Chain A
Amino acid sequence: MTDSTRTDNPAERLGQVWRNPPGLGALSVVSHSSLGLRFMVTGAFFFLVGGLLAMLIRTQLALPAQTILSAEVYNQFFTMHGTVMMFLFAIPTLEGMAIYLIPKMIGARDLVFPRITSLGYYCYLFGGLIILSSLFLGIAPDSGWFMYTPLSSQQFSPGPGSDFWLVGITFVEISAMAAGIELTVSILRARAPGMSLRHMPLFAWYILATALMIVFGFPPLILASILLELERAAGMPFFDVAGGGDPILWQHLFWLFGHPEVYIIFLPAAGIVSTLIPVFARRPLVGYRWVVLSIITTGFISFGLWVHHMFTVGIPQLAQAFFSMASMVVAVPTAIQTFAWLATLWTGRVTWNLPMLWILGFLIVFVAGGLTGVMLALVPFNWQVHDTHFVVAHLHYVLVGGMFFPLIAGLYYWLPHLSGRMPSERLGKPGFWLTFIGFNATFLLMHLTGLLGMPRRVYTYEAGVGWDWLNLLSSVGSFIMAAGIALIILDVALHFRFGRKAPRNPWQADTLEWATDTPAAPYNFISLPDVQTRHPLWDHPDLPESMAAGKHGLAQANHGRRETYGSDAITGRIRDVIHLPGNSWLPLFASLCLAVVCISLLVRLYPVALLGVLGAAVFLLRWGWENGAHPKAAPVCADEPSQPPLHSRTCDGPGRWGMVVTLLANGTLYLCLLFGWFYLWTASPHWSAPQVSPVSLTVMVLAGLLLTGVVATYYRIVHRLTAGDDAGLGPRLWGLTALGAAHWVVLLYATLSAPLAVTEQSHDAMLLVMLMYLLFHGLVATILTALQAWRVRLGWVNRALPYEPVVLRPFWGYTLGIYWLSVVVFLLVPLTWGGAA
């Protein structure tokens, strides 16, 4: 990896190694700064799409009995408004911000899986465009953004609309999962030397919690989407009453995701507030530990609220009380943060400026929304206003107040970092006021509209019921708000040309991202410093200079590798040097193949979908191949660092952490499958299960024994490898590959020979999903083991390079665990308890 163009100037050398190619090559860029910006710009584009849809909705509702939009078109518009805003604007924009800021704030050069960042972006872009295309083709989803069944099922939505949502959103969710996994591992394992957990900037705590919430919160929706798409395309009746399914199962799975989703949206925005307030109050945030506690509490409690979206479904009162109480408890950590912010402002010396104006707006709008939220948590009140415009008002208060306002505050705050220029207050202030006034004009009295009985999602309403002037006012307000947003866009656009040049750290902030150049170089910092304080730039004002002078760690790149420090998750001490991949086309190609899969599923051309899957698999496996000691990654060379070593020479590194976090997400999906099984068994109105399961227990046990043999042996092999013994490693891994293949064939036989009536009974459909899940894992694990055996032959895996088999080990363990758990839950338990209702 040495380059003939050696130079003594570290900045130049780093610049070469971290170079972002221009032109078409930009499609292969993996730098977090570029990708973070792309996420945010694409998010802004979708925001405008969602906003346009909102304007059309408000135009239609301005007067009673209008027919500007027909019912069919209106239903597509409000469904797409919600879908675009939630999935294509809110999450990706915040993700993009986190991707851009986190490495800089924690003193790293990039996130730990740069190609995954890129894959995430492309999946978001292509998925978003596919979903958007449905709008232009007039076949957009039209069952509401939460897609309740049976309305969204094949029978009542026979067109492709629902499929666009189910397939398209799942495609986009790859990007959320990617970000969730990558940010978790990066924040835990790639911090600056010495940055212990208690020295992490609060923004990192917020994003860590958000990332973990994504890891646990998105899988329920992914499973639900897969099940509903299987129902629509293959007739498997998970949610259809006649076939033993239950529409309420969809609601449970959706809201298990849906409620954490809104906190996933809120927490990063609260993180922005917690970052800006200390800077503008010129003192550290009051109650760092209280805020950390609040972040953790919010993250967990938000998973216990989901039924509060289902209070009118007919669930027992006591169960509703559990969720009602939890929904009130969740307001406490938010109140704690609010008063921490207040106390900081109170004891600080605050400057009024544009970001602080937006934060004041956030406070007003979000607290109002939070208070109506507490009202909604009260069940009897909920029974009146559920599904009315009161809820529409509430949700916009908390989402616009809780996410959009802090986002704009953050935008103005970090604009100098992006562009090197200061924003102006001249256009910005009227922009704020128009947006703030317009927003409140639209949504404040909408609470009353709901209280007066106007339901949600109606394309028109009769005159004279009492809703006329309220709707007109809301519609006028929406145009004022649109004007405000137009001003903000104009302001931001103009500042790139006319904004005055920003000095370094123009706001005199305390966090590390301000130590980079503006705009930041792709490698962020020339050298990586020790950080043992929460406020590095306040406590060490000369740090940016000394970093730029190369006085700290990893200040040279003559070896040609992209490197950042790998840290201990708790203390921040250096453990290894993480070598990162450079630019790559593989994420783009893999994503294009996935787009082919997506589109062919939509037009129901399944052979083409299969080709797409194979293509994606090839590119993803190639991607995994170019790791470790591969010539394109970090081939073994004579002058390798040893104190600390490169991460791929150790037994622990980001990949292992990434595997574990991915398995947490995977496990959540599996647990949701188990939940679905037990739910349908106990609660579904027409559940029916045969006396004897169609799946042969004997064959399953046989396959399971084979699997157990493989995994036990694999664990032994890796144990020996990490102790330094790689004798016979290659042949042994080939042997395991063969045994794994045998397991797979037996499992396949069990699946194909079982007389499953998957279109008639949800019982059988569930069994098939379970079997496919097990088949998938067995196949992937076996293929990856084969690749490891091959890499042993090539000399890239041995006792000096033990890392990769260690990374694969948890995957085998997981495969074994779900295998036997499935045998117990799906075959043994029904035997003993009688599966019939």
Chain B
Amino acid sequence: MFLVAVIVMIGVFGLWIHAMNRAGDDEDDARAERLQNRWIIGGGLVLPLTSMAALLAFGIPAGHSMLPLPPEDGVALDIEVTAHQWHWDVYYPEQGIRLHNELHIPANTPVDIYVTSSDVIHSFWVPRLAGKIDAIPGHTSVLRLEADEPGDYRGQCAEFCGRGHAHMQFRVSAHSKTDFETWQREASRND
């Protein structure tokens, strides 16, 4: 996208500056009109429509693959997250685990985060793992996350929610399968 944008920009700017410096034409009206229509149709119609078609051909499948649809094999792990001013409550419904400002997930496994809010609108976002989803009171929305590698990933609130918005971070720790099972056992026992 960036590359195409840069090419288009350089093209348009270059043409504009050249056009300004150019001496100008003395064409008869009919020929001039044909020439002008070529500019308008070529630049105004063909260029944007083909660029957008290319963009969408890439984009729509990409977006579709990010949806929380049932995974091909296995089952996604469900986690419920409730946003508050100004912290995150995390709950694993199946295991009964409760956490505060942190999530633990197994790597290479699809995870479905069910997000809602108890007060104002927030937004759940782990930049390195997925797009964001808004936490809206009265509604629950689902975000599909999958970490390719174990590690710690920073998350933050991404919808302005008042005084503490800038300090509403959380952490997502992805573990290998065995490490996650260990963590899960420990966490259930502690609850």
Residues on A facing B (Cβ under 8 Å): 71-72, 75, 143-144, 148, 150-151, 156, 241, 246-248, 281-283, 286-287, 290, 294, 312-314, 317, 321, 324-325, 328-329, 331-333, 335-340, 342-343, 345-350, 352, 356, 360, 363-364, 367-368, 371-372, 374-375, 378-384, 386-388, 453, 455-461, 465, 684-686
List residues of chain B with CB within 8 A of the CB of A332: 44-45, 48-49
Contact between B16 and A388 (Cβ–Cβ < 8 Å)?
no
Q: Is B189 an interface residue (CB 8 A)?
A: no
Q: Give Cα A321–Cα B20 distance, bound, in whole angstroms.
A: 39
Contact between A287 and B25 (Cβ–Cβ < 8 Å)?
no
Contact between B16 and A686 (Cβ–Cβ < 8 Å)?
no
Q: Give Cα A335–Cα B43 distance, bound, in whole angstroms.
A: 7
Which segment, of B54-62, B96-104, B105-113, B176-184, faces chain A?
B54-62
Q: Give Cα A348–Cα B55 distance, bound, in whole angstroms.
A: 35
Q: Give Cα A283–Cα B18 distance, bound, in whole angstroms.
A: 17
Q: Give Cα A71–Cα B19 distance, bound, in whole angstroms.
A: 49
CB proximity to A under 8 Å, residues B76-106:
85
Of the candidates A71, A325, A343, the one whose C-beta lies within 8 Å of that of B39 is A343
Query: Could you give 17 example pairs across A and B, Cβ below 8 Å?
Result: A75-B162, A148-B121, A151-B160, A156-B120, A246-B138, A290-B44, A312-B131, A331-B48, A335-B45, A336-B40, A346-B25, A347-B24, A350-B24, A360-B16, A374-B55, A378-B1, A455-B158
Contact between B24 and A290 (Cβ–Cβ < 8 Å)?
no
Contact between B44 and A151 (Cβ–Cβ < 8 Å)?
no
Contact between B166 and A381 (Cβ–Cβ < 8 Å)?
no
Closest chain A CB from B67 CB (angstroms): 6
Contact between A347 and B9 (Cβ–Cβ < 8 Å)?
no
Of the candidates B18, B63, B119, the one whose C-beta lies within 8 Å of that of A317 is B63
List residues of chain B with CB within 8 A of the CB of A312: 123, 131-134, 158
Contact between A335 and B47 (Cβ–Cβ < 8 Å)?
yes
List residues of chain A with CB within 8 A of the CB of B138: 241, 246-247, 684-686
Closest chain A CB from B47 CB (angstroms): 7
Q: Give Cα A366–Cα B22 distance, bound, in whole angstroms.
A: 23
Residues on B facing A (Cβ under 8 Å): 1, 5, 8-9, 12-13, 15-25, 27, 32, 35-37, 39-40, 42-45, 47-49, 51-52, 55-56, 59-60, 62-64, 66-67, 85, 119-121, 123, 125, 127, 130-134, 136-139, 141-142, 154, 156-166
Of the candidates B18, B40, B139, B160, the one whose C-beta lies within 8 Å of that of A248 is B139
Other contacts beyond A71-B165, A332-B45: 19, CB < 8 A:
A148-B159, A148-B160, A241-B137, A247-B137, A248-B139, A290-B40, A313-B136, A324-B56, A338-B44, A340-B40, A342-B15, A347-B27, A374-B51, A375-B5, A378-B56, A379-B63, A457-B160, A458-B165, A685-B139
List residues of chain B with CB within 8 A of the CB of A281: 24
Contact between B163 and A71 (Cβ–Cβ < 8 Å)?
yes
Closest chain B CB from A533 CB (angstroms): 15
List residues of chain A with CB within 8 A of the CB of B20: 345, 350, 352, 356, 360
Q: Give Cα A317–Cα B125 distance, bound, in whole angstroms.
A: 19
List residues of chain A with CB within 8 A of the CB of B119: 150, 156
* Contact A247-B24, Cβ < 8 Å, known A75-B162, A286-B39, A384-B127: no
Contact between B59 and A455 (Cβ–Cβ < 8 Å)?
no
Closest chain B CB from A217 CB (angstroms): 24
List residues of chain A with CB within 8 A of the CB of B62: 380
List residues of chain B with CB within 8 A of the CB of A453: 127, 154, 156
Contact between B158 and A386 (Cβ–Cβ < 8 Å)?
yes
* Contact A151-B162, Cβ < 8 Å, known A375-B1, A379-B63, A380-B131: yes
* Contact A381-B120, Cβ < 8 Å, known A345-B16, A350-B20: no
Contact between B139 and A314 (Cβ–Cβ < 8 Å)?
yes
Contact between A388 and B166 (Cβ–Cβ < 8 Å)?
no
Contact between B158 and A343 (Cβ–Cβ < 8 Å)?
no
List residues of chain B with CB within 8 A of the CB of A386: 131-132, 158
Majority SS at the chain A contact face = helix
Q: Give Cα A144–Cα B142 distance, bound, in whole angstroms.
A: 26
Contact between B132 and A339 (Cβ–Cβ < 8 Å)?
no
Closest chain A CB from B158 CB (angstroms): 5
Closest chain A CB from B99 CB (angstroms): 21
Closest to A349 in B: B24
List residues of chain B with CB within 8 A of the CB of A352: 20
Closest chain B CB from A288 CB (angstroms): 10
Closest to B115 in A: A314
Q: Give Cα A338–Cα B98 distance, bound, in whole angstroms.
A: 56
Closest chain A CB from B14 CB (angstroms): 11
Closest to B8 in A: A371
Contact between A287 and B161 (Cβ–Cβ < 8 Å)?
no
Q: Give Cα A566–Cα B3 distance, bound, in whole angstroms.
A: 53
Contact between A336 and B44 (Cβ–Cβ < 8 Å)?
yes
List residues of chain B with CB within 8 A of the CB of A388: 158
List residues of chain A with CB within 8 A of the CB of B15: 342, 346
Contact between B13 and A363 (Cβ–Cβ < 8 Å)?
yes
List residues of chain A with CB within 8 A of the CB of B56: 324-325, 328, 378
Q: Give Cα A156–Cα B9 distance, bound, in whole angstroms.
A: 44
Q: Give Cα A71–Cα B164 distance, bound, in whole angstroms.
A: 8
Contact between B55 and A328 (Cβ–Cβ < 8 Å)?
yes
List residues of chain B with CB within 8 A of the CB of A331: 48, 52
Contact between A342 and B60 (Cβ–Cβ < 8 Å)?
no
Q: Give Cα A282–Cα B131 distance, bound, in whole angstroms.
A: 50
Closest to A74 in B: B166
Closest chain B CB from A30 CB (angstroms): 41
List residues of chain B with CB within 8 A of the CB of A378: 1, 55-56, 59, 63
Closest to A153 in B: B120
Contact between A287 and B137 (Cβ–Cβ < 8 Å)?
no
List residues of chain B with CB within 8 A of the CB of A345: 16, 19-20, 22
In order of increasing CB-CB distance, the 8 nearest A-B pairs are A383-B131, A336-B44, A241-B138, A314-B141, A339-B43, A343-B39, A458-B166, A345-B19
List residues of chain B with CB within 8 A of the CB of A382: 131
Contact between A371 and B48 (Cβ–Cβ < 8 Å)?
no
Contact between B156 and A247 (Cβ–Cβ < 8 Å)?
no
Give the one of B27, B60, B85, B138 with max A CB within 10 A: B138
List residues of chain B with CB within 8 A of the CB of A241: 137-138
* Contact A248-B136, Cβ < 8 Å, known A71-B164, A335-B44: yes
Contact between B158 and A387 (Cβ–Cβ < 8 Å)?
yes
Contact between A343 and B48 (Cβ–Cβ < 8 Å)?
no
Of the candidates B18, B25, B40, B123, the one whose C-beta lies within 8 Å of that of A387 is B123
Give the one of B52, B133, B141 with max A CB within 10 A: B52
Q: Give Cα A727–Cα B15 distance, bound, in whole angstroms.
A: 71
Contact between B121 and A151 (Cβ–Cβ < 8 Å)?
yes
Closest chain B CB from A304 CB (angstroms): 16
Contact between B23 and A349 (Cβ–Cβ < 8 Å)?
yes
Contact between B59 and A381 (Cβ–Cβ < 8 Å)?
yes
List residues of chain A with CB within 8 A of the CB of B136: 247-248, 313-314
Q: Give Cα A347–Cα B24 distance, bound, in whole angstroms.
A: 5
Q: Give Cα A382–Cα B137 distance, bound, in whole angstroms.
A: 22
Contact between A383 and B66 (Cβ–Cβ < 8 Å)?
yes
Closest chain A CB from B58 CB (angstroms): 8
Q: Give Cα A388–Cα B43 distance, bound, in whole angstroms.
A: 31
Closest chain B CB from A720 CB (angstroms): 53
Closest chain B CB from A145 CB (angstroms): 10
Closest chain B CB from A202 CB (angstroms): 14
List residues of chain B with CB within 8 A of the CB of A343: 35-36, 39-40
List residues of chain B with CB within 8 A of the CB of A685: 138-139
Closest chain A CB from B160 CB (angstroms): 4
Contact between B132 and A379 (Cβ–Cβ < 8 Å)?
no
Q: Give Cα A437–Cα B116 distance, bound, in whole angstroms.
A: 43
Contact between B60 and A360 (Cβ–Cβ < 8 Å)?
no
Closest chain B CB from A294 CB (angstroms): 8
Closest chain A CB from B156 CB (angstroms): 6
Q: Give Cα A382–Cα B158 distance, bound, in whole angstroms.
A: 13
List residues of chain B with CB within 8 A of the CB of A286: 36, 39-40
List residues of chain B with CB within 8 A of the CB of A346: 15, 18-19, 22, 24-25, 39
Closest to B157 in A: A455
Contact between A338 and B156 (Cβ–Cβ < 8 Å)?
no
Give the one of A324, A332, A339, A364 with max B CB within 10 A: A339
